[in-house]
A and B are shown apart, each in its own frame.
Chain A
């Protein structure tokens, strides 16, 4: 409960390294706070973490620290916004009823592992009046059902927030329901196909051996009808997505991937059923069930990846706050953002997002708009300046007059752009579909030739022979050749931290000819870094130490650039939001911040310092000026060089100032860069490249990149960026590591090569085997063994993709090999 005295050194060392016991972040210099857990004093980094750790311990939930897989999110010291959720007009659109109970869906931000969900579950279990709290760590969603007479929604949300997580109320029905229903249906279809396949394999084995063992014809007929019975639900219930997809793509006048698959399954089933009823010819029930099962398994994996990347609607929930602090004649009042109207005045505290577009009427601040505009540095906003919903207030509290809400905001405009980009994206004319078309045309042509030949030779056998060609070629080649290769490559990339959310992305990635990068947050970290220190007395270290001492107290983003500088904290510190910090260092009163702020203490600004972003001065005179740049992302240079080595053109499309963009472009060696682009400009740039014949790979992280990502042929989002960008991309770099990108291109190209090999092999096998089979030289058991071997070859060939690529592909020059491998 109370703060413990400083622990012996061994006790602190026992905690997770030297970081905070609760959240794992480094403990700021000068902070000495501890919490006693399991009889040992543990160091924590802030009051919020101490409160969270104490809460967890006092609730008897200390086990959380033993089982968690990742450090906890850092709790935010915020004022109480949750009680406003108890107001009826806020609750009405969000909360559903279940008899006497109220029900709501909540997205819990900051959920990192199963131990987190256990913690929340157990904490909520101690709340009286809560009937049900089912929290799913995979989707980060919880459904809460409570008795409104005993407990309020605000109390429940406050409990979750007190642990350091951030609950977002989603309402009753949302994408969660859709995703859950989709996953459940897919699982059922997969089960039907799997069970069916196992049954069929047992019976089919007997049928394969039948001719050599002299099986009684009655039993043979019986087994074939058994197969028909089992295959029917597999083909038409489990396989329905392929038929539905084929119908949809034919209606759109395209031949998609589903068309040959549906033709294959349908014809193989129809022919087998025909032969079963007439009692002659071969049956292919084993192929039908196996292909349906394997295809469904591949699609199931793809669906899981897509769900993990999240949806657009969910991404928006996280951007804009649900609540706003409205200024009314009676004082300040928490209202839902949906209640805001033009002309309302809201107060936005430091560190919160702006709830709507508007104009500042009182106070001055700086806004972090990097996710929305790509601008890397916080933008100064004085009275009268426009602020946009979704950007973060990093300067100080301001009062804003709302002039656009909901659909009229800049953010909503970006989302509309996103939707337009999606409809314009030629999704259907993809590589996979082109192959499918190519293949279908060839196979149908071949079948027509065979049919014509047989009509001349022996019309009575024409139907059967034609079907044989279609049945044997279609499913084997297309059901196995492509999906196995893609699944293997996807699994390999997932281990490297690159999540493939759309299976066809790999095929497009292999053919990409031009890479368009966002700058802020993608090629750079979007975090300021000290680039130049101009010390008037020449003593750079002293100036840095003094600046760092003052900046420790500041929440401003630029202050974080001083975090690595060793210093001792300043005394008598006073922070003026949006302007700077004042304090005493080594007995001298110093100020750091804007030139105007420091000038009030030091006197007129010398010419040499006037242009700097941040200046330092004291009562004894001017000390130094600091310049900041955007820190480049580790791996960005390797990624650009690697992509260029693979023949891709590179372009930077940024919303930031020309000076910043030019700097990054020079460092990375990119000649083609564009600055100050609006989201629609970026979209136009990509479309221009596409019209010129390029296949565009877009890489981005921000909300403003989302339309570009969706319009590009293939898009990569950073897992550390905005959820909206991730929902718009085909691949997500989970660890924010761009260096895997060239490797991904390699893997994609090898995937395409292996798919081609597989298709060629299947075609060759069929071309050679079919005539023999048709002429009666191949007994069915030999044909079955041959088919299995053929399938096995295709699968094993695809599995080569799952192995480390270093031995088979060109290694990018930018990534040096370990010595041992060079020797080998």
Chain B
């Protein structure tokens, strides 16, 4: 990427990065299962847009295909699968009633994680250009917030959403730093994620059948004592 970017392009980069972060916070601040899935869908749609934008800037045509794949698999199919699962779950209340960390503190913690990501991105020995300096901290934020969602929530579904957020962060990181892997690997990764979502949906069904809830508090019987 040798030539300088146009000011509008730089604006676009910044705006899309901000929207991406807002969508991610949407998962943190909401309680309802379907709210998370909506937030995840927005997050992924913006991600696909960012990939296409980077494809336009770098004029690497493969990135357009990757963007389309992201839109198709991660923004349409995966939320559909998970919406179907939440609809079929036995438990009548589809809310995260009392997470391990309250929502108010979660928001503060996530904000701190974002700050930490910006700090970390400065420490990395990666040569910086405009796209990298904008998106590298955002991709770390997605990763850490995803991790935080996994450990701070009680419902198994939110852990799946956390995993997917981590994966989105990784994906953004890969696209920004290396301008994407080769197409075959991207397709393999998408297939892995899709299968992973299906496998975890099966597990969710089993869990709600066996324990009558998808609360992970039930999952603490195997231990050495």
- A, B assembled together: no
